[in-house]
Amino acid sequence: MWFEINVPIEIGPTEDGLSLRIQWTKEHESVFSPRELRLACPCAGCVDEFTGEKILSEEQVHQNIYPLSIEYVGNYAIQFSWSDGHNTGIYSFDLLRSMCSCDICSSN
């Protein structure tokens, strides 16, 4: 079921502390670098609300960016407070799951 696939069981850092690991139901895992997540911010300051075009450029995001905190938003998303001061993006579980680049997801 869709609902079972897009629900995280656990969200936290990888063992080396360099990436974010999301353990989904159905024994699926996604790993994201902080920069990858910051560049994918879906907020209106990073993506044009009317055209859907990305406003945030790669040059604007430092290579060593990291989350200061991660908060749940209801039962459908998480929100980061980033080391660059940005904190308005709400990352739905659907968005995060669609961003997964594991071997299984990449082959679909």
The structure's pTM equals 0.89
List pLDDT tens digits, range 14-51: 999 999 999 998 778 999 999 999 999 999 999 999 99
Distance CA 29, CA 12 (A): 11
Distance CA 14, CA 36 (A): 15
Domains in the chain, ordered, with CATH? 2-95 (3.30.2020.30)
List pLDDT tens digits, range 51-106: 999 999 999 999 999 999 999 999 999 999 999 999 999 999 999 999 998 887 87
DSSP conformation class of 66: -
Q: How many CA atoms lie within 13 A of 61 on its CB side?
A: 19
Distance CA 77, CA 90 (A): 6
> Residue 22 in contact with residue 11, Cβ under 8 Å?
yes
Tokens of 53: 């075009």
